[in-house]
Amino acid sequence: MSKAPLLSVRDLSKYFTIRSPFRGTTVGTVQAVNRVSFDIGEGETLGLVGESGCGKSTTGRLLLRLIEPDRGEVLFEGRDLLKLDAGELKAIRKSIQIVFQDPFSSLNPRMTVEDIITEPLYVQGGMTRHDMRDRARMLLERVGLNAAHITRYPHEFSGGQRQRIGIARALAADPRFIVCDEAVSALDVSVQAQVINLLQDLQEEFNLSYLFIAHDLSVVRHISDRVAVMYLGEVVEIAGKDALYASPRHPYTKALLEAIPVAHPRLRGKRARLGGEVSSALNPPPGCRFSQRCPFAQDVCRREAPALRELGERHQVACHFAEELQAVAA
């Protein structure tokens, strides 16, 4: 894996200004995404996990410029997406697609399945109506639906089937990179497993790269090659999935993993629980954002924000005491 990554994100930030609804004065700034950096290689899946409000979905949307970032770089095949004009952006969107969480609100109820799937092709241009329809049929079959259902409307499908339609739409323009924003979270477990398998098959077949955003840690472990953990707008740890799940270096990652319910009743037992709740991203504390909940926090944690640093091979962590904690655990 020595060649340049397909997608490279550097110091990506997005702050939202909150204004008073009546006077219009600035109340504060929500640092939704703060200096996030990661790479995704070709054919690789990076899992992005964190609790609600940690900025994982915003990060996904920033990559596609569905929300305009404030600062940073998003290099896709070496080109900075943030510097492209509207025309260039449209051309490159063919290669970067997204699958949304809610299979009910992400498909236009007044469009047929054919219109939904061919819309990206229509926007990109260069194909005849007939070719587009053939491609839509092919894609429907590829995602496990009946090609004859091309004239139906979204409400005629179940949640899992709709998510397959959303995946077919993302595949239509032959992308290289797909952001899966909680793409299986709304599905029942039996259907969720089918969609996860489909995403993995498609990845192999089309050599796709995924940014897989989810809050379910076991699903993320299953599908990802590497995993990034976010807390309050910042990436606190990135590592290969085995390293991250077997020996987490950041206290937050550790706490997150310990909160997962056990797999078998025999494994029950008292475990260390993370107290408190995610603090507000509105005017976050100085220093490490996790310091208020961290059982190991020292004075330095409340003063200085730890930078994301390399700790072992391709294992990055943003904690002042990562080595000490590792030694204690061992």
Partner 1 sequence: MQRNPILRVEGLRTTFTSDDGEVVAVDDVSFDVNEGEIVGLIGESGSGKSVTALAVMGLLPKTTSHVTAERIMFDGRDLAHASERELRRLRGGSIGMIFQEPMSSLNPVLKIGDQLIEPIRIHERISYRAAFDRGVELLTKVGIPSPVQRMNDYPHQLSGGMRQRVMIAIALSCSPKLLLADEPTTALDVTIQAQLLDLLLEIQAETKMAIVLITHSMGVIAECADKVVVMYSGRIAEQGPVTEIFDRPGHPYTKGLMQCTPELTGNSRRLTTIPGTLPSLSALPPGCRFAPRCDLAQPDCVAGRPPMIAIGKEHASACIRADELVVSAAQPEGAEV
Stretch that binds partner 1, among 80-88, 167-175, 274-282, 294-302 (CB under 8 A): 274-282
Size of the site for partner 1 (CB under 8 A): 40
The Cβ of residue 255 has, within 10 Å, a number of other Cβ atoms equal to: 20
Q: Does 161 bind partner 1 (CB under 8 A)?
A: yes
27 binds partner 1 (CB under 8 A): no
Site for partner 1 contains 146 (CB under 8 A): no
Counting beta carbons within 10 angstroms of the beta carbon of residue 19, is it exposed (0 to 12), middle (13 to 18) or buried (19 or more)? exposed
Kindly state whether residue 224 participates in binding partner 1, applying the rule CB under 8 A: no
Residue closest to 289 by CA, chosen among 306, 308, 310, 273 = 306
In the bound state with partner 1, the residue whose beta carbon lies nearer, of 177 and 231, is: 231
CA 59/CA 64 separation, integer angstroms: 9
Among 192, 191, 202, 197, CA closest to 168: 202
97/224 with CB nearer partner 1? 224
Please report how close the Cβ of residue 8 comes to partner 1 at its closest, in angstroms: 27
The answer to whether 278 contacts partner 1 (rule: CB under 8 A) is: yes
Q: Is 330 in the site for partner 1 (CB under 8 A)?
A: no
Query: Least distance to partner 1 from the beta carbon of 124, Å?
Result: 32
Neighbours of 233 (CB within 10 A): 25
Per CB under 8 A, 218 contacts partner 1: yes
Helical H runs in 27-108? 56-63, 86-93
Q: Which of 67, 89, 191, 297 binds partner 1 (CB under 8 A)?
A: 191
Q: Please give the structure tokens belonging to residue 95.
A: 């290669």
Q: Quick check: 259 and 277 in contact, CB under 8 A?
A: no
Binding positions for partner 1, rule: CB under 8 A = 51-52, 158, 160-161, 188-194, 196-197, 200, 215, 217-219, 221-222, 245, 255-256, 258-268, 273-275, 277-278
